[in-house]
Amino acid sequence: MKTKLLALFFLTLSLASHGQTLIKGQVTDENGQALPGVNVLIKGTSRGAVTDVKGEYTLSDAPADAVLIVSFIGYVTQEISVAGKSVVDAKLAPDVKSLEEVVVIGYGTTTVKELTGSVSSVSGNKLTSLNTVRVDQALQGQAAGVQISTASGSPGGALNIRIRGLSTNGDNNPLVLVDGVPYSTDGLNALNPSDIESINVLKDGTAGIYGVRAANGVIIITTKQGKRNSKPSIEFSGYYGSQQTTKKLDLLNAHQYAVLKNEAYAAGGQAPPFANVDLGKGTDWQNEVFQKAPIMNYNLNMNGGSDKSTYSIGGSYMNQEGIVGGDKASYRRYNARINFTTDIAPRLTLQNVLLYTNERRRTLPENGIASVLYNTTNASPAATVRNPDGTYTYLEEFSDIINPLAQMANTYNQTGVNKLVGKEELTYKINDNFELSARLGYNYANVSTKTFSPLVYYGSGKAQNTATNPALVPDSITLYSKEVDSVRSNGQWTKVTASYKIPRLNSVTETEQTFFNYNAEAFLNYNKTFNDIHHVKATLGISYFGDQGKSLSATAFNIPYNSNDFADISAADGTNLLNNTTSYQYRSRLQSYFFRGEYGYKGKYMLSALVRRDASSNFGKNNRFGYFPAVSGAWVLSEESFFQSDLFQFVKVRASYGVAGNDKIGNFRYRALLGGEGVYPFNNQLVNGVAIGTLGNQDLKWETTHQTNVGIDFSLFNGKLDITTDYYIKKTKDLLFQPDISAIAGAYGAGGSPPWINAGDVKNNGFELLINYNDKIGEDFRFNIGYNLTTIHNEVTALPDGVQFIEGGAFGVGGTRPTRMQVGYPIGYFYGYKTDGVYQTTQEVTERGVAQENAQPGDLRFVDQDKSGDINFSNNSDKTKIGSPIPDMIMGLNLGLNFKGFDVSGTLYVSLGNDILRNYERDQPLANLLAYRLNRWTGPGSTNTDPRLFTSSTQTNRNNVISDYFVEDGSFARIKNVQLGYTLPAAISRKIGANKLRIYVAANNLATFTKYRGYDPDLSAQFDPNNASGSTLSSGIDYGFYPQAKTFMAGLNLNF
Amino acid sequence: MKKFIRISFGVVVASFMAISCDDYVDIDPQYAQDADNYFLSPADYDKALTGAYDLMQTSYLDMWIGEIASDNSIAGGESVTDSEGLHQIDNMTHGGVNNELRSLFRWMYAGITRVNYIFENKDKLEFEGKTRILAEASFLRGYYYFELVKFFGDVPLVLDRRLSASEISSQPRTPASDVYAQIVKDLQFAADNLGWTTSTKGRITKGAALSLMGKAYLYQNKFAEAAQTLDEVIDEGPYALSTDFSTLFRVASEGNSETVFDIEYVGIEGGGYGCFVCLEGFAAVGFHSIRGYKGPIYADGNSYNLPTQDLVDEFEPNDPRLATSILDIEAFKAAQLPVKVEYTVGGGGHTGFYNNKYLKRADELGANDNDLTSPVNHRVIRFADVLLMAAEAHNRKSSADDTKALTYLNRVRTRVSVDMPPVNVTGSALTQAIYHERRVELAGEGIHFFDLVRTGRAADQIAGFKVGKNEVFPIPQAEIDLARARWLQNTGY
């Protein structure tokens, strides 16, 4: 409305004025779509106009020889000579990577040209177009130096974000800020990718403006805002898709299975289990378990603004069912968002951001011995899914493999999240140079989890049974058993044991967790250019951050009818003695001051220095606060007069060095605990005392990262080709450990343990390359290619004195710990035996010169690492490095083509050099096998790769010990997204009242190229059964991973 | 209005800046009691004291080594590599790497630290009965340091506070004499503030404190002080020798008139080999017991700490204490006929004898695994020991009182149920008689090695014992390394 009035005003003005020209025109984008809100300015004056919703403008009072400057954010500014015309149309080309593009650097912004640090920027449009459920999924392959890997492919499953390698055996998560509000990486599910305007990843030392939370990098997410003086623009986007598994394992069919199992039993001198091997194909359990599952997502956004305010309002719905489990493993999300800014007084602006999310996630057991997929891949193909009467079969030939369909039918896990994130920010523009901001951000999440465990019987002896028989008679549990007294009967004293048993009925566990954090920040920005050559910027601020959470959990027994419909504590038997409750709470606080000064000389030399002082409640009293400095500088070579090049338009050399911290070291770990056991008998009764447990350490402090970064940026061919390169060395010191301590500290009473100390260093270094090429062929064919590459070299450089290594992960059942953190090796490298083939003959076994216990022809030949003449299986003397989960190199390739109304895009992600430890095969006599076992050793000369099949109740060979036989190359290339879209001509879309209508078909995870035999090579640190506090040391172990889905979808984007 | 907004905005920002010190982050965990917010009620002190008592239960190892290191017994057990450290001590080949010695070193300091934790906070609260708690705590610290100084000689003396990790490297080894001075001081405080008797079985008494103090004097060859201290126990204490030596070590006799200082055990809680420091039963009993035993009276065990023929031969003919102290398995087996007795021999050695004072009895089993949960108390100081220590002190002090020494000695020898003929010698003959009496009376109680060492007889009696070296055990090498305080290893190791 405003613009129309403005146009009218100019129109009236022009009519009144004599001898001046009236100019009209339309501004469109490269596809011919109208661009509203574009500034059209008469060069050399302050007069101009803004295009209306149809992209049209009217200018009066323009000299016939005027030059119009047509500019719009995100598009290349054009200068057009009027040359006497009265209609001047403009077609703006998108400015893909303008040197003036804004880069967010924390408490302020800079431009690509002036940037001195290393920041990866990704636009929200790019992320949205990839149609991923989570923001971080979309980020994979988009930014150099940012490695995204999947912890679970199930709907709502988590991802791991690693910026420039793994810095610690503790928490490697970066700091994520959404509009300045800290956001948990675990909770990133809640963020709707469509709400995002841009993502900036601070990778180098300049992230130190966030001090003690910046060591793992900082991800700054900005949500969409409206524009001033723009009419409401409404966007609708939606897609519907069908998902299926990216892969099924190549398993044995029933016939192959029977033949191989007979062979294995015979080798061990046991009776073959299958008299008849003509079993046909049998049951394909994967076909039974995997299904096609729908996914859908709908977004509605409205943006606009007046001259004093802007608004951006959005809502979305997304629903994804699982390719395993369907609704039993599903994810549903509602988002609502308001971003509203208004001038509440001259020069005083209030910004209000509110993001609300409601999520519901249902899960099945994943990863490991009890998971659905583990049961699926190991179940016998000779068994049927159901009995003739329709009930599920028991798979009685196994003690610990249950019918996966029965398991899915009886699993009820649901988590609901209500999350509210927001901020109120006041910005006061004191004058042209000073701007003062104060903001209050908050992040509140309520997480409700409900798990129903019905009485269920999976077959005799199964660990997952909650009932003792098919009639669902519950197990009983001894509540109390104690020798109470002696009684005299028949002249003899005998002791009497009193006990009380009750049945363990079905149960429901409900957990309510509340997380709340807030930050209150104020900062002053200064920005002034002196004499057109000295550009000075400064930022001074203060920040308070508080984080707290609590949890209340209760379990109640005896749900009516053994039915999930009644699975609520209110419906349970309130007097059941097994009912119980637990709770916990935590809190931590951070108080910070920060300063950054920036100086630029003639746009040639840039220097920036910053320091942050953080005080945290997580640190010991002797190290309550720390200073985190960083310096960075840049030299724009291309601005020098001696620089003469037709090829290069822009060349800049950057360097930075900074210190940052990682405060995610656990709350109050510096304090001494009272967890010790102090029990002593007085009067022959045990009396419980209190004793010191884990010792305190008032010197405990953050982990510290020192990072050096050098980079060169190039822009060639008139801005068509942009290249950014970076090399970094990142040294993290003071990692947390609990090594042995001197006895005189008193840590070794019952329940005691040594204090946490800072000792241990890790180094990451690598090279990053980002190339963007944009060009057009003819008028209508445009294309862009984006390529990024990241190399990672990770090495542990120090551990505490006396600590040789730290073990992690799990392999097999009962727990060899297969990974290590050790000086000179990457974090979490795989540690085990090397093999050099398969013994072919008895002669080879005896004459090899190396004794290997129980070895027979057909068994794996292990390498005698210590040259001791025998393979030692009882200690580590013959074990060595057999792989590393950390890739040597990751790459992303993004392609986009536009031709007339058509657009095609594709994203490829490549990971090279990462190893995966295969740990989803169950070593049980009758467990099914992968088809590669068909190539087993069957006699001299048959193969030198895969050992013989063998099973025996009395003997054992060593083919199943942790060795490189179980380590596979996990390198892969994955087509993450391909998309074909068509934008209807404006004339047609107008007919339905729309400015733009685009329809598309797309596929995610269309193809994966890998030698890896498991479901999905894109897997990362998951849980660590031996280390609840950290999962870093279980990276790259495939416990039976829920694969990511391949999705085919169709969607549309509609703008009004 | 606009001005008002601007001003209030300025106020908000200014108040931000005003909270300039770090009070904001000075918060404590909520609803959680940890070591820094404890000692808020008298009960807290009592509980911490119980925690400090707990480490005494690791004494099975102290007792065990006191026997194995001497000529009284061999290590025994399943094989020579099972508990290898004990076999090395048996053979006098032990060095700085020895798991058993390291455990002992760690556990005693854990006990000391739990006591020091109480003293660190002793002024936090005033209440009736605090002195009694501090007195018992003092005794415990005295006991733990006595074990350390007896085993290792000079040890770091840490008092009245917990050490931080950064302070460890500045803790030197304190000369043994200074450690002894502190022990005496702690025990004196305990003796001054505790009564001769207690209504709670297991609590430390004045008699225990004075007796341990007398023992500490004796170990320093301070005979006059030892005599004086022990006389006080004998003259003023409520103690009398038991009238039935044969049942003295049974559960039923616990807390009888001869009990001066027992470490308490009960069998009501189970335990496993994974955590010896967690046990509530006396692990020595299960370890000592007869391997693969099937038969009446006794129960199956692990055949460690097996008495030698040399010890058997020390007993005078007809001394009834032999049968109570040492089980001759073959004789026992023959005596049980026609009831069949079976047992096996461990690879760690066999002498035919078992430490009968601390053997698992079928009617004294603890909860499972009953190898480790015997309810039998460890008799650390019996009144007989007090009498013999006093006899020795009077005999060996500069102005010897052999009459008194002889009286004490014969009180032990001629007691009801032992009834050995009195001796009547003086001077060094009396010294030898006392030494003999100590060996037989206290056989199997973990005292003999230290008796041999402090009286200078170890080299004569123990094969492989090197004078100037084996009087003390080596400081565990790992502890020297971890402390990084430039401790010198004990001479010869």
* DSSP assignment letter at A863: P
Both tokens of B485, joined, read 């305080």
Nearest CB partner across the interface for A428, out of B6, B49, B56: B6
Average pLDDT over residues A289-300: 95
pLDDT tens track for B425-460: 999 999 999 999 999 999 999 999 999 999 999 999
CA–CA distances in Å: residue B397 to residues A558, B389, B390, B401, B411: 77, 12, 10, 8, 20
pLDDT tens track for A177-198: 999 999 888 778 888 888 999 9
Nearest CB partner across the interface for B164, out of A616, A697, A802: A697
Q: What is the pLDDT of residue A7?
A: 46
Comparing CA positions, the residue from A704, A703, A726, A702 lying closest to residue A714 is: A726
The one-letter amino acid code at A709 reads: N
pLDDT tens track for B187-244: 999 999 999 999 999 999 999 999 999 999 999 999 999 999 999 999 999 999 999 9
Closest approach of B272 to chain A, Cα-based (Å): 13
CB contact under 8 A, A671 and B166: no
Q: What is the pLDDT of residue A706?
A: 96
A540 shares contact with chain B (CB less than 8 Å): no
Average pLDDT over residues B315-335: 96
* Chain B CA closest to residue A522: B13
A747 shares contact with chain B (CB less than 8 Å): yes
Closest approach of B349 to chain A, Cα-based (Å): 26
Binning pLDDT at 50, 70 and 90, where does residue A12 land? Answer: very low
**For all residues of chain B together, what is the average pLDDT?**
93
Nearest CB partner across the interface for A682, out of B6, B156, B202: B202
Nearest CB partner across the interface for A673, out of B35, B116, B479: B35
Distance linking the first and last C-alpha atoms of chain A = 15
Kindly tell me the number of DSSP H helices and DSSP E strands found in chain B.
19, 8
Which chain B residues are closer than 8 Å to A350 by Cβ? none
CB contact under 8 A, B2 and A743: no
Which chain A residues are closer than 8 Å to B264 by Cβ? 680-682, 684
Which chain B residues are closer than 8 Å to A693 by Cβ? 35
CB atoms within 10 A of CB A603: 12
Q: What is the pLDDT of residue A1029?
A: 45
CB contact under 8 A, A428 and B9: yes
B107 shares contact with chain A (CB less than 8 Å): yes
Average pLDDT over residues B129-152: 98
Comparing CA positions, the residue from A135, A138, A236, A146 lying closest to residue A191 is: A135
Q: Interhelix angle for B59-68 vs B130-152, to 10°? A: 30
CA atoms of A91 and A548, how far apart (whole Å): 52
The one-letter amino acid code at A715 reads: S
Strand partners of residue A765: A729, A793
Q: CB within 8 A of A195, min separation 6: which ones? A: A124, A223, A224, A301, A314, A316, A335, A337, A355
Q: CB within 8 A of A68, min separation 6: which ones? A: A23, A40, A41, A42, A43, A59, A62, A79, A80, A81, A82, A88, A90
B142 shares contact with chain A (CB less than 8 Å): no
Q: What is the pLDDT of residue A1034?
A: 82
pLDDT tens track for A968-1002: 999 999 999 999 999 998 888 888 888 889 999 99
CB contact under 8 A, B168 and A741: yes
Q: What is the pLDDT of residue B7?
A: 63
Both tokens of A435, joined, read 């701007």
Q: What is the pLDDT of residue B21?
A: 64
pLDDT at B352 over 90: yes
Among A28-42, A450-464, A575-589, A762-776, the minimum mean pLDDT is found in A28-42
Greatest mean pLDDT among A22-36, A142-156, B433-447 = B433-447
Share of residues in chain A with pLDDT > 90 (%): 58
A680 shares contact with chain B (CB less than 8 Å): yes
The answer to whether A546 and A540 have CB atoms below 8 angstroms apart is no
Alpha-helical (H) ranges within A182-234 are: none
pLDDT tens track for A270-290: 899 999 999 999 999 999 999
pLDDT at A551 over 90: yes
* Chain B CA closest to residue A801: B482
Average pLDDT over residues A482-506: 68
Distance linking the first and last C-alpha atoms of chain B = 86
Strand partners of residue A453: A507
- Helix H or strand E encompassing A629: strand A625-636
pLDDT tens track for A332-375: 999 999 999 999 988 999 999 999 999 999 999 888 778 899 99
Kindly tell me the number of DSSP H helices and DSSP E strands found in chain A.
9, 56
User: Parallel, antiparallel, or unpaired for β A915-918 and A902-912?
Assistant: unpaired
CA atoms of B16 and A519, how far apart (whole Å): 12
Average pLDDT over residues B67-71: 96
Both tokens of A522, joined, read 């104020």
Average pLDDT over residues A621-630: 91
Closest approach of A706 to chain B, Cα-based (Å): 24
| Residue environment code for A1040-1054, b if the CB has 16+ CB neighbours within 10 A, otherwise e | bbbbbbbbbbebebb
Q: What is the pLDDT of residue A299?
A: 94
Half-sphere exposure of A266 (CA within 13 A, CB side): 11
Q: Is B314 buried (19+), middle (13-18) or exposed (0-12) by CB count in 10 A?
A: middle
pLDDT tens track for A641-698: 898 888 888 999 999 999 999 988 888 889 988 989 999 999 999 999 999 999 999 8
The one-letter amino acid code at A648 reads: F
Which chain A residues are closer than 8 Å to B61 by Cβ? none
pLDDT at A837 over 70: yes
Q: What is the pLDDT of residue A454?
A: 95
CB contact under 8 A, A680 and B264: yes
Which chain A residues are closer than 8 Å to B113 by Cβ? 692, 745-747, 749
Both tokens of A103, joined, read 């880069």
Q: What is the pLDDT of residue A664?
A: 86
The answer to whether A120 and A726 have CB atoms below 8 angstroms apart is no
Among A480-494, B12-26, B145-159, B470-484, the minimum mean pLDDT is found in A480-494
Among B residues 444-473, those touching chain A with beta carbons less than 8 Å apart: none
Q: What is the pLDDT of residue B17?
A: 57
pLDDT at B1 over 80: no
DSSP code string of B122-171: TTS---TTHHHHHHHHHHHHHHHHHHHHHHHSSB----SSPPPGGGGGG-
pLDDT tens track for A1010-1025: 999 999 998 876 655 4
pLDDT at A810 over 90: no
Share of residues in chain A with pLDDT > 70 (%): 94
Which chain A residues are closer than 8 Å to B34 by Cβ? 668, 671-674
B493 shares contact with chain A (CB less than 8 Å): no
Binning pLDDT at 50, 70 and 90, where does residue A62 land? Answer: confident
Q: What is the pLDDT of residue A68?
A: 86
**For all residues of chain A together, what is the average pLDDT?**
88
Q: What is the pLDDT of residue A15?
A: 42
Half-sphere exposure of B37 (CA within 13 A, CB side): 10
Share of residues in chain B with pLDDT > 70 (%): 96
Nearest CB partner across the interface for B49, out of A677, A679, A689: A689
Closest approach of B154 to chain A, Cα-based (Å): 13
Give the global pTM: 0.84
Closest approach of A595 to chain B, Cα-based (Å): 14
A514 shares contact with chain B (CB less than 8 Å): no
Q: What is the pLDDT of residue A1028?
A: 45
Nearest CB partner across the interface for B2, out of A345, A674, A751: A345
Q: What is the pLDDT of residue B16?
A: 56
Binning pLDDT at 50, 70 and 90, where does residue B5 land? Answer: low
pLDDT at A757 over 60: yes
Strand partners of residue A165: none
pLDDT at A761 over 80: yes
Q: What is the pLDDT of residue A1024?
A: 54
Q: What is the pLDDT of residue A628?
A: 96
* Chain A CA closest to residue B201: A683
Average pLDDT over residues A50-72: 82
pLDDT at A53 over 80: no
CB contact under 8 A, B201 and A752: no
Report CA B361 to chain centroid distance, whole Å.
Answer: 23
pLDDT at A481 over 60: yes
Extended strands (E) in A663-816: 679-682, 685-688, 703-716, 721-733, 736-737, 757-758, 761-777, 781-791, 793-798, 805-808
CA atoms of A625 and A655, how far apart (whole Å): 27
| Residue environment code for A290-307, b if the CB has 16+ CB neighbours within 10 A, otherwise e | beebebbbbbbbbbbbee
CB contact under 8 A, A745 and B165: yes
CA atoms of A935 and A199, how far apart (whole Å): 49
- Helix H or strand E encompassing A363: none
CA–CA distances in Å: residue A970 to residues A708, B40, B402: 30, 58, 86
CB atoms within 10 A of CB A960: 17
pLDDT at A1027 over 60: no
Q: What is the pLDDT of residue A91?
A: 84
CB pairs under 8 A between A and B: 229
Which chain A residues are closer than 8 Å to B52 by Cβ? 678, 689, 691
* DSSP assignment letter at A783: E
A388 shares contact with chain B (CB less than 8 Å): no
CB contact under 8 A, A743 and B202: no
